[in-house]
Amino acid sequence: MQRWLFNQVHKRHLIYNQCWEDPVIDREALKIVPGDRIVMITSAGCNALDYLLSDPDWIDCVDLNPHQTALLELKLAALKTLSYAEFFEMFGTGRIQDHQEVYRRRLRPLLSCGGRRTWDSRIRYFDPAGRGLYFHGSSGFVARAFAWYIDHRAPLRAEIDHMQTIRDVEEQAAFYHSRIAPQLWTPAVRWLLRRHVSMALLGVPEAQVKQIRSTARQDLSAFIRSRVDRVFTTIPIADNYFWRVYMNGRYSPECCPNYLKEENFERLRERCSRIRLHSMSLADFLAQNRGPFSVYVLLDHMDWLTNSKKLLYREWRRILETARPGARIIYRSGGASFDHVPAFARRRIEYRPDIAGALHERDRVGTYGSFHLAWVRA
């Protein structure tokens, strides 16, 4: 049932309206430089644009969900045609004045047929009188429900707004424990976090839930609470745009992804043609495009494949067939460890747990159980 529900959500809907991986951590791990050729899973496209600031030769963005491809395609069209103020209005606030007209005249002509199919029926997400992009899509639906819950517990909204102004982490932690956590972690919230439908809407497949349970040795709601507690007690919220966008429904100019910062706009506009979009599986893409690639960004994709050894083996074969010697690979897991990489692949790669572990401690998202960095041996 859980697998069927997840597949229905994933096939029909935009899942991720922002990337849920910290690109600062990624770029420190990967050391992207001119000459790099990157292949990555698209998600919401934010991190592909972030990596572009490191000046790689090109980035191939691959995603099975065509709506995720369409979101990055819309961002690329907006980079090419909108002013910075309009671009931030659209993807910073998640809304834009005259959204239908802007789309019809300036963005739609630059989109593929697939992009038009997605946005012809979804450009309403950017209606300035509406909820905005970040409260749409299936993850946005969960964020909207969370915002409704906050708004209907009178003190909680004011407390969360105040927490975002705190600059000292110890003060932030004390405030969270005393004022936020008791109101947030109610029996109703814990019950919702155990539901299959909640995980499906957040883009968490059954295989990943099993991976979390097997390594964390606690139920899903307890795991989520432990990760959220860690975020709000050890990581400054002042510049944590991952969480603040779902608290507020928008970014601010002071707290937003790098691709939305004005100082990066012209560089991204000049380089955005280096991003190529593909709606297919990663294994199929690598079978058709021999590379060689120097960087692989797999997000939490390994967790998704743990139920199918055949697919997992096929993907690793394709990665190793297309990798340059010394290529860097990163991936995350919901579990505290990940032991499903095939033996033939482990013989060809060298893991760097020292680097990955230190970076994982600084990750602003904070909800993954582990972060992995490996190099392909020559």
> What's the pLDDT at 340?
81
- Residue count of the chain, please give it: 378
> What's the pLDDT at 140?
92
- Cβ distance 54 to 27 under 8 Å? yes
- Cβ distance 298 to 330 under 8 Å? yes
CA distance 9 to 15: 8
> What's the pLDDT at 206?
67
CA distance 110 to 70: 12
- Cβ distance 161 to 151 under 8 Å? no
CA distance 89 to 165: 23
CA distance 338 to 124: 40
User: All domains of the chain, ordered by start, with CATH?
Assistant: 2-87+262-376 (3.40.50.150)
For each of the chain's 378 residues, which pLDDT tens digit applies?
445 444 444 566 899 999 999 999 999 999 999 999 999 999 999 999 999 999 999 999 999 999 999 999 999 999 999 999 999 999 999 999 999 999 999 999 999 999 999 999 999 999 999 999 999 999 999 899 889 988 988 789 999 999 999 999 999 999 999 999 999 888 888 877 776 666 666 666 666 666 666 665 667 778 888 889 999 999 999 999 999 999 999 999 999 999 999 999 999 999 999 999 999 999 999 999 988 999 999 999 888 887 788 999 999 999 999 999 999 999 999 887 777 899 999 999 999 999 999 999 999 999 898 999 999 998
> What's the pLDDT at 137?
93
* pTM for this entry: 0.93
CA distance 276 to 72: 10
Q: Would you state the structure tokens that stand for residue 318, as one six-digit string?
A: 């394709």
Residue 124 CA: distances (Å) to CA of 4, 95, 99, 199, 283: 28, 9, 7, 25, 34
> What's the pLDDT at 6?
46
Q: What is the 3-state secondary structure (H, E, C) of the chain?
A: CHHHHHHHHHHHCCCCCCCCCCHHHHHHHHCCCCCCEEEEECCCCHHHHHHHCCCCCEEEEECCCHHHHHHHHHHHHHHHHCCHHHHHHHHCCCCCCCHHHHHHHHHHHHCCHHHHHHHHCCHHHHCCCCCCHHHCHHHHHHHHHHHHHHHCCHHHHHHHHHHCCCCCHHHHHHHHHHHHHHHHCCHHHHHHHCCHHHHHHCCCCHHHHHHHHHHHCCCHHHHHHHHHHHHHHHCCCCCCHHHHHHHHCCCECCECCHHHCHHHHHHHHHHHHHEEEECCCHHHHHHHCCCCEEEEECCCHHHHCCCCHHHHHHHHHHHHHHEEEEEEEEEEECCCCCCCCCHHHHCCEEECHHHHHHHHCCCCCCCCCEEEEEEECC
Task: For residue 37, report the phi and psi dihedrals to the nearest 5 degrees.
Answer: -120, 115
CA distance 211 to 370: 11
Contacts for 191 with CB less than 8 Å, ≥ 6 apart = 221
CA distance 52 to 27: 10
Q: Which of 28, 67, 35, 369 lies closest to 204, judged by CA?
A: 369
Residue 11 CA: distances (Å) to CA of 69, 75, 165, 204, 227: 13, 21, 39, 14, 28
> What's the pLDDT at 61?
99
- Cβ distance 193 to 312 under 8 Å? no
